Amino acid sequence: MTPVDDPRPAPTPPTAGLLPRLLRPAAAALSGVLLYASFPPRPLWWLVLPGFALLGWVLHGRRLRAAFGLGLLAGLGFTLPLLHWTGEDVGPVPWLALAAAEALF
């Protein structure tokens, strides 16, 4: 007699695929924040290297649609804190619109 393999796959917990799905978007946003932190007046210019390296890792092997979304997250992580001063006079809606437009660019 030979052992018979169970044809049913092992059940996976519902959160098993959650971490890998959130890792790249979180890394994309973090790369944008690192790029923002490398700008003056902070003397952290060297953060541009891990910021772009992280963005390169995030985008490597992604299809166009996924790369667009991840690049948008990186752009928002960069432009939202960079342009916060624009919302002081005009409010949050124009600030968010400008940051989103710049992130798309």
pLDDT by residue for the chain (105 residues), tens digit each? 566 665 676 665 565 677 778 999 999 999 999 999 999 999 999 999 999 999 999 999 999 999 999 999 999 999 999 999 998 989 999 999 999 999 998
Report if residue 4 sits inside a domain.
no
| Predicted pLDDT at 19 | 76
Report if residue 78 sits inside a domain.
yes
| Predicted pLDDT at 94 | 94
Structural domain boundaries enclosing 88: 23-104
Report if residue 6 sits inside a domain.
no
Our count of domains for the chain comes to 1
| Predicted pLDDT at 12 | 59
Report if residue 41 sits inside a domain.
yes
Q: Distances in Å between the alpha carbon of 86 and those of 35, 75, 92, 98, 105?
A: 19, 17, 8, 9, 18
Report if residue 11 sits inside a domain.
no
Report if residue 18 sits inside a domain.
no
Report if residue 9 sits inside a domain.
no
**Structure token digits, residue 12:** 């996976």
Report if residue 12 sits inside a domain.
no
pTM: 0.79
- Give the pLDDT confidence of 53-68 residue by residue, as tens digits: 999 999 999 999 999 9
